[in-house]
Chains A and B, each alone.
Chain A
């Protein structure tokens, strides 16, 4: 049952991704942009222009280009079907390799940030829900307003100023490792895991230290909406008949709270998933402020450079990960809430 459901979701997801890739393929080529002149310069000769166009493959009919990208034209070399995302026009490196470097950083950043944000937000949201209008609730409200009042990069800069420049608690916002440290040999691509594998606790510590400030910034921004959501779901759960009945039946306080929490978490999980998927590309400002070199930064760089293969690759990867995250969270949701049917 569950296996069949997962299989079907993955199948549907693949179709979705493929349609999106094809749509994006055409859409970026509809843009009034001229990537060729960007590479050869505006004043280049006609031959140089034609040569560059040929190099990029843009001289061929659109459908041939698409066939090449998808990998259904064997004569043209490997494409999507063969597991290749093409080569970046800017760097000449395979897009897959570049994404393979940027993606783990974003995932690490988001995972740490979400984990910490949840650890803080869930209890705080519960506390606020237990006494609507109480001190905790008012505090949370004020905090949400405050945190949401400024754009995230501004908070990032402020944090850098305070914790690096003034207090000196955080390292310089120059990536995930200090320039003098050599990175651990890449095994998983996740630098925290790799330093563990390489048996270098000092490197691990350094990485975590570098993640500290960007994660704190994200937690600061994410917590507001998450607390609000947990609070709302919790208020609803606490007002529900079955919680009232649990009290009628004389269940211990902690157990009543657990009943309510579980009911509140089920809908929250879905929203957290959506937020996570959104942040995959949306963490770009934080990544830029701290020069982390994550996926968001890579996406912006590719767009500004009209690097078509890279743009397509980023969109494909973000979509695929989002779909996987949604699937995982739907499965978690079903575990929490038995009413969810695999349909």
Chain B
């Protein structure tokens, strides 16, 4: 396959048998052993692999760089017929940033914290041209405008810490593109960006490849991005490329066992085990939330941040409700209010019909036993100095009167249930990977037979194949134990496989709630439509770049301190009319059972609109 590509297109960069070694006090590590890859003109190549598989090392190595104390041991990096490994520092310097540009993860730490970003972009530009300082500044402004930063004349004077993550990412992109490189290496270029913005940016990047004939190496863990934008996929495993094929072939029939692992969730979907829309045991709602509101006072001001407003939702026994939305939509706050980790400003939350706000302090413990939470970062919520036994015994000590032997038996059961090796019982969790850690967190959450678990982005730090396993585990536990879940996530792919119903949040309000099939197949609310269309489902046969994307949202998300009077989306909605700006929108039920917060949808105005 690789030979085909190289034959039909001119190769921009090719790497042969690259080996990188780190000599650490505890022995040598070789993240790249025998790494070979080539990228042709006008090609977007995706590089995937586990976290820590050496993808970022490979990205740097392609510029002839290694993060100290690593070393390039052997191999070739050919660019335009020349071997980077044989160039001297000056030649390399002239090449880097000019012919090969790079965008790295963590844009904020990659920007110099002490220099204004305009200066930084200008410095890079001047390093590769003989532009004057003034010309470099103009170029910086031009580049910032190009990457979609509003008001670039003002932003050139900003420092990295004054930028949001997304803005810093764009500044980095502006820097990488300022000298119009022939190859752009993009290492998780959209990490930390919200989905609607991510799609915007990737579209732009893809367009520019088509226009300028440059090439991109796109490194990502997100199969949605890979499927939607890459022509070819290379899989890095164990320090070498184990599979390198056109994207369509790869997603249709991965060859290497490791690739099959990665594609687990997609393949599970293809073979028809996607969520059926019926909860295990329908019945009276277990948890019901009405008119929930939460406002955080701003320190040193009499204004407040409206985190939640008139949130209504219910979760039945054995049901999973998904809560989706971009960062700042308030989805996490809902979960925290349910557990009384946060006191709501107003509104009611009932559990089995009884209001939880009325629970006195003494009874709170019994209540907490029934309702548990699993957090996003598995490392944060476990004490690394405790043994696994101690971690799991703590809730048992707190909520049960079991004897010592019974507790041990219970702990072994729990480990078994979440698929962890029972032999680990007296180990410290420190050595476990993120996925095993998250399983341990789940074991702790189910230790005292809860009925309801809030899952707050439990998969967001996991690698794709670990996500598949965790989702399968959650579904298994739900079936066996009859659990109800509130699943908070920004990853629509996992929501689709785990949830029965889904609620879409925007700026502290639910804008649409319905069965997963309804919302995912045919979203109604303009925000839900935009969110769904920006989400990149890992399916290379329906690539975003091959389709006409429906009109998306424009502008920036309003500040939750000064919310608009009417519909919160009015400033960005392509369907907004005057009435939207003046009338606050209530959540109204449609005939098909879902609820939507948009009068135009309710009146049927938007029927058939893109």
Interface string of A259-296 (1 = CB under 8 A from B): 10011001000000000000000000000000000000
Minimum distance in angstroms from A263 CB to a CB of chain B: 6
List, in ascending order, chain A residues with CB within 8 A of B250's CB. Answer: none
Question: Within residues 60 to 105 of chain B, which ones have a CB less than 8 A from any CB in chain A?
Answer: 60, 63, 65, 67-68, 89, 92-98, 101-102, 104
List, in ascending order, chain A residues with CB within 8 A of B104's CB. Answer: 241, 245, 248
Question: Within residues 140 to 172 of chain B, which ones have a CB less than 8 A from any CB in chain A?
Answer: 159, 161, 172
Give the contacting residue for B123; candidates A244, A253, A255, A263; CB below 8 A. Answer: A255
Is B6 among interface residues, defined by CB-CB distance under 8 A? no
Is B106 among interface residues, defined by CB-CB distance under 8 A? yes
How far apart sit A262 and B114, CA to CA, in the bound complex (Å)? 8
Is B111 among interface residues, defined by CB-CB distance under 8 A? yes
List, in ascending order, chain A residues with CB within 8 A of B94's CB. Answer: 250
Is B241 among interface residues, defined by CB-CB distance under 8 A? no
Assess the B113–A250 pair: CB atoms within 8 A: no
Select from chain A the residue with minimum beta-carbon distance to B124.
A249
Give the contacting residue for B114; candidates A249, A250, A253, A337; CB below 8 A. Answer: A337
Assess the A248–B123 pair: CB atoms within 8 A: no
Assess the A242–B68 pair: CB atoms within 8 A: no
Is A41 among interface residues, defined by CB-CB distance under 8 A? no
Q: Contacts A248-B65, A266-B114, A338-B114 known; A253 to B109 CB distance under 8 Å?
A: no
Select from chain B the residue with minimum beta-carbon distance to A335.
B114
Assess the B110–A241 pair: CB atoms within 8 A: yes
Is B290 among interface residues, defined by CB-CB distance under 8 A? no
Task: Tally the A-B contacts, defined by beta carbons under 8 Å.
Answer: 78
Select from chain A the residue with minimum beta-carbon distance to B175.
A249
Select from chain A the residue with minimum beta-carbon distance to B67.
A244
List, in ascending order, chain B residues with CB within 8 A of A246's CB. Answer: 112
Select from chain B the residue with minimum beta-carbon distance to A239.
B68
List, in ascending order, chain B residues with CB within 8 A of A239's CB. Answer: 68
How far apart sit A242 and B112, CA to CA, in the bound complex (Å)? 5
How far apart sit A240 and B123, CA to CA, in the bound complex (Å)? 18
How far apart sit A296 and B347, CA to CA, in the bound complex (Å)? 68
How far apart sit A248 and B114, CA to CA, in the bound complex (Å)? 18
Select from chain B the residue with minimum beta-carbon distance to A241.
B109
Give the contacting residue for B113; candidates A242, A249, A252; CB below 8 A. Answer: A242
Select from chain B the residue with minimum beta-carbon distance to A263.
B114
Is A251 among interface residues, defined by CB-CB distance under 8 A? yes
How far apart sit A262 and B106, CA to CA, in the bound complex (Å)? 21
How far apart sit A29 and B571, CA to CA, in the bound complex (Å)? 72
List, in ascending order, chain B residues with CB within 8 A of A50's CB. Answer: none
Assess the B97–A250 pair: CB atoms within 8 A: yes
Assess the A249–B112 pair: CB atoms within 8 A: no
List, in ascending order, chain A residues with CB within 8 A of B600's CB. Answer: none
Q: Contacts A249-B175, A251-B124 known; A244 to B65 CB distance under 8 Å?
A: yes
List, in ascending order, chain B residues with CB within 8 A of A38's CB. Answer: none
Assess the B159–A339 pair: CB atoms within 8 A: yes
List, in ascending order, chain A residues with CB within 8 A of B63's CB. Answer: 248
Is B412 among interface residues, defined by CB-CB distance under 8 A? no
Is B127 among interface residues, defined by CB-CB distance under 8 A? yes
Is B128 among interface residues, defined by CB-CB distance under 8 A? yes
Assess the B159–A250 pair: CB atoms within 8 A: no
List, in ascending order, chain A residues with CB within 8 A of B175's CB. Answer: 249
Minimum distance in angstroms from B605 CB to a CB of chain A: 49
Assess the B106–A241 pair: CB atoms within 8 A: yes
Interface string of B171-185 (1 = CB under 8 A from A): 010011000000000
List, in ascending order, chain A residues with CB within 8 A of B95's CB. Answer: 250
How far apart sit A251 and B106, CA to CA, in the bound complex (Å)? 20
Minimum distance in angstroms from A137 CB to a CB of chain B: 14
Number of A interface residues at 8 Å Cβ cutoff, please give it: 24
Minimum distance in angstroms from B59 CB to a CB of chain A: 9
List, in ascending order, chain A residues with CB within 8 A of B128's CB. Answer: 250
Assess the A253–B111 pair: CB atoms within 8 A: no
Is A317 among interface residues, defined by CB-CB distance under 8 A? no
Select from chain A the residue with minimum beta-carbon distance to B113.
A339
How far apart sit A338 and B117, CA to CA, in the bound complex (Å)? 12
Question: Within residues 558 to 576 of chain B, which ones have a CB less than 8 A from any CB in chain A?
Answer: none
Is A247 among interface residues, defined by CB-CB distance under 8 A? yes
Give the contacting residue for A263; candidates B92, B98, B113; CB below 8 A. Answer: B113
List, in ascending order, chain B residues with CB within 8 A of A252's CB. Answer: 93, 127
List, in ascending order, chain B residues with CB within 8 A of A24's CB. Answer: none
Select from chain B the residue with minimum beta-carbon distance to A235.
B68
Assess the A240–B109 pair: CB atoms within 8 A: yes
Minimum distance in angstroms from A236 CB to a CB of chain B: 12
Minimum distance in angstroms from A222 CB to a CB of chain B: 26
Interface string of B499-525 (1 = CB under 8 A from A): 000000000000000000000000000
Interface string of B110-142 (1 = CB under 8 A from A): 111111000000011001100000000000000
Assess the B110–A337 pair: CB atoms within 8 A: no
Identify which of A248, A255, A262 gathers the most chain B CB atoms within 10 Å of its CB: A248
Q: Contacts A248-B60, A248-B104, A250-B98 known; A242 to B127 CB distance under 8 Å?
A: no
Assess the B93–A338 pair: CB atoms within 8 A: no
Select from chain B the residue with minimum beta-carbon distance to A252.
B127
Minimum distance in angstroms from A343 CB to a CB of chain B: 12
List, in ascending order, chain A residues with CB within 8 A of B89's CB. Answer: 253
Is A66 among interface residues, defined by CB-CB distance under 8 A? no
Give the contacting residue for B110; candidates A242, A251, A263, A336; CB below 8 A. Answer: A242
Give the contacting residue for A338; candidates B92, B96, B109, B113; CB below 8 A. Answer: B113
Q: Contacts A255-B127, A262-B114, A338-B159 known; A247 to B65 CB distance under 8 Å?
A: yes
Select from chain A the residue with minimum beta-carbon distance to B68.
A239
How far apart sit A343 and B446, CA to CA, in the bound complex (Å)? 45
Assess the B97–A259 pair: CB atoms within 8 A: no
Identify which of A241, A263, A336 gathers the most chain B CB atoms within 10 Å of its CB: A241
How far apart sit A247 and B110, CA to CA, in the bound complex (Å)? 11
How far apart sit A338 and B63, CA to CA, in the bound complex (Å)? 31
Select from chain A the residue with minimum beta-carbon distance to B158.
A338
Assess the B96–A249 pair: CB atoms within 8 A: yes
Assess the A245–B96 pair: CB atoms within 8 A: no
How far apart sit A246 and B104, CA to CA, in the bound complex (Å)? 11
List, in ascending order, chain A residues with CB within 8 A of B114's CB. Answer: 259, 262-263, 266, 336-338
User: What 10 A-B pairs are tightest by C-beta distance, nearest first?
Assistant: A250-B97, A250-B96, A249-B97, A245-B110, A241-B109, A249-B124, A338-B159, A242-B112, A248-B102, A241-B110
Residue ranges of A at the interface with B (Cβ–Cβ < 8 Å): 238-242, 244-253, 255, 259, 262-263, 266, 336-339
30 A-B interface contacts by CB (under 8 A): A238-B68, A241-B106, A241-B109, A242-B111, A242-B112, A244-B60, A244-B110, A245-B104, A246-B112, A248-B60, A248-B65, A248-B97, A249-B124, A249-B175, A250-B94, A250-B95, A250-B97, A250-B124, A251-B93, A251-B97, A251-B123, A251-B124, A253-B93, A255-B123, A255-B127, A259-B114, A259-B115, A266-B114, A337-B114, A338-B159
17 more A-B residue pairs beyond the given contacts A251-B97, A253-B89, A336-B114, with a C-beta to C-beta distance below 8 A: A239-B68, A244-B67, A245-B104, A245-B111, A248-B63, A249-B96, A249-B175, A250-B93, A250-B127, A251-B123, A259-B114, A263-B112, A263-B114, A337-B114, A338-B113, A338-B161, A339-B161
Residue ranges of B at the interface with A (Cβ–Cβ < 8 Å): 60, 63, 65, 67-68, 89, 92-98, 101-102, 104, 106, 109-115, 123-124, 127-128, 159, 161, 172, 175-176
